[in-house]
Amino acid sequence: MSLASRRAPLYAMALANFAVGTGALMIAGLVPEIAADLDVSEAAAGQLIAIYAVVYAVAAPLLSVLASRLPKRRILMIAAGGLALTSLAAAFAPDFASLMVIRGATALFAALVTPVAASVATLIVPPQQIGSAIGIVFGGFAVSTVLGVPAGALIGGAFGWPAAFVMVAVLAGLAFIAIAVWLPGDMPATPTRLSELARTLRDTRALAAVGLTAIQLASAFVVFGYIAVIFQKGFGAEATEIFWLLMVFGLASVAGNHAGGVLTDRFGHDRVILYGLAALPLPLIGLYLAPLGFLASAVVMALWAFLGFIFTAPQQARLVRLHPDQRTMILALNASAIYVGNSIGTASGGLLLAISGTTWMPLAAGLTALAAFMFYLATRAIGPAQKVAS
């Protein structure tokens, strides 16, 4: 079926990713408020991102196996409903420990959304439109950086951080309805065994491919998890200035995500990944070298977001072509790698913040992005995956 005839279900899944992205990333703009309200340090509050990431990373491939006997629409409805309920629970968390536990529960449901949605997107469009379809579905995550994350920061600043979690619960509830109404019901279950997960984990090429995702995301979250702290301490940014910087980041991420899908369909995944990774270290290192100021920071944020999000669609298209018969599994491993990178980056950023403040965080992020480019150069020519006996 053509891309045009499947836009409604693609947008339904994009809305689910919008809720996931908003819930996952808005903490970056709420760290100071949560830390002050729950009487913990800013470095500790930033670990709400890390705990979410760790649970997601472990859960994504395992849940893709356990849920594989269910029809895909049902999986996505369960995931969106669970995301709504746990987000609402987070709004009423009485203390920091409770919030940490609830964030872990939220990550379990979120771990089902992104890989299953990406897999469905590749099944309902022709092969030559996979890049654009993934771009639409993952575009919900990108749009969350434009609207959801800044809105979360603004709402949290105005009404308290619990209000931001109520917003996520509403978004997830709307996604539940959209999936129930628009997603095709004729996609049967595709049962998967744990032995197939083990076989994929022994596939050198698959591990190299998803490892690239982890490194690329780690470079982002060294800085992004503490972006509000960096800008507050860098040039005394007010809440409204942080809102607009996050808005710039979000708009550029949407543009980068869209460009990645279109360019993948036109030129193939390899060139888009190669050139995007080659340029990604520049804005991050620039954030370290240049004096912090609102306009300069906005330009750097835009370049960083565009180059970071241009990677998403070609990387997932690459993985689908690598394992077309196990696309949900490989995409689940990729989603896991996203949050492995998220947790490593956030934990590293928190350590740097505790030891030396914000000074070295952008440089560490830039060097990690350079490592991602070097890793791709070293692994892009690995030959076809070999069959490994179960």
pLDDT at 351: 87
Q: Rounded to the nearest 5 degrees, what angle is found at the Cα of 21, between the Cα atoms of 212 and 163?
A: 150
The Cα–Cα gap between 311 and 43 comes to 29
The Cα–Cα gap between 154 and 151 comes to 5
The Cα–Cα gap between 240 and 66 comes to 44
Estimate the share of the chain in helix, then strand, then coil, as percent rounded to the nearest 5.
85, 0, 15
pLDDT at 252: 92
Give pLDDT < 70 ranges for the chain. Answer: 1-6, 234-235, 290-292, 382-390
Residue 198's CB: how many other CB atoms inside 10 A?
Answer: 11
Q: How many residues does the chain have?
A: 390
pLDDT at 385: 46
pLDDT at 386: 45
Q: Give 231-289 as a DSSP string.
A: HHHHH---HHHHHHHHHHHHHHHHHHHHHHHHHHHHH-HHHHHHHHHHHTHHHHHHHHH
pLDDT at 115: 87
The Cα–Cα gap between 112 and 71 comes to 13
pLDDT at 389: 37
Specify the CATH class of 4-379 in words: mainly alpha
Where b means 16+ CB within 10 Å and e means fewer, 128-160 reads ebbbbbbbbbbbbbbbbbbbbbbbbbbbbbeee
The Cα–Cα gap between 97 and 108 comes to 17
Residue found by looking up tokens 């619960």 in the block: 169
pLDDT at 292: 63
pTM for this prediction: 0.77
DSSP 39: T
